[in-house]
Amino acid sequence: MRGIDTQVRKMRRRIFKEVANLAYNSENLIDDMEALPYQIIDYDEPEFRENIYRERAIVRERIRLALGLSLRPENKPSHLTQGLEESNIAEKYYEPPLMQVIPSACNSCPVNVYQVTDRCMGCVAHPCREVCPKGAITMKNGRSVIDEELCIKCGKCKAICPYDAISHQTRPCALACGVGAIESDEKGRAVINSDNCVSCGQCMVSCPFGAIADKSQIFQLIRAFQSGREIIAQVAPAFVGQFGKDVTPGKFKAALKAIGFSDVYETAIGADEGAAYEAKHYVEEVATGKTPFMLTSCCPSWAVLAKKFFPETIDKISNALTPMVATARVIKKEHPEAAVVFIGPCASKKLEASRRTIRSDVDFVITFEELAGMFDAKGIDPAAMDVSDKIDDATGAGRGYGVAGGVASAIEDCIREYYPDTDVNIEHAESLAECKKVLLLAKAGKKKGCLIEGMACPGGCVAGAGTNIAIPEAQKCVEEFKNSAKDRLPGIDGNNKLNH
Ranges in the chain annotated CATH 3.30.70.20: 7-108+174-219, 112-170
Q: Which residues contact 141 (CB under 8 A, 6 or more apart)?
A: none
Query: Strand runs (DSSP E) across 297-449, as ranges?
Result: 339-344, 364-367, 426-430
Residue pair 296/278 in contact (Cβ under 8 Å)? The answer is yes
Distance, in Å, from the CA atom of 58 to the CA atom of 65, rounded to the nearest integer, reads 11
The structure's pTM equals 0.93
- Torsion of the alpha carbons at 16, 17, 21 and 22, rounded to the nearest 10: -30
Ranges in the chain annotated CATH 3.40.50: 230-483
Distance, in Å, from the CA atom of 202 to the CA atom of 212, rounded to the nearest integer, reads 10
- φ, ψ for residue 32, nearest 5 deg: -70, -35
DSSP label of 78: -
For domain 112-170, give the fold: Alpha-Beta Plaits (3.30.70)
- The tens place of each residue's pLDDT in the chain, 500 residues long, gives 677 889 999 999 999 999 999 999 999 999 999 999 999 999 988 888 989 999 999 999 999 999 999 999 988 889 999 999 999 999 988 778 999 999 999 999 999 999 999 999 999 999 999 999 999 999 999 899 999 999 999 999 999 999 999 999 999 999 999 999 999 999 999 999 999 999 999 999 999 999 999 999 999 999 999 999 999 999 999 999 999 999 999 999 999 999 999 999 999 999 999 999 999 999 999 999 999 999 999 999 999 999 999 999 999 999 899 999 999 999 999 999 999 999 999 999 999 998 877 778 999 999 999 999 999 999 999 999 998 788 988 999 999 999 999 999 999 999 999 999 999 999 999 999 999 999 999 999 999 999 999 999 999 999 999 999 999 999 999 999 999 999 999 987 655 444 33
| CATH number for domain 7-108+174-219, candidates 3.30.70.20, 3.90.1300.10, 3.50.7.10, 1.10.10.410 | 3.30.70.20
Domain 230-483, classified CATH 1.10.10, yes or no: no
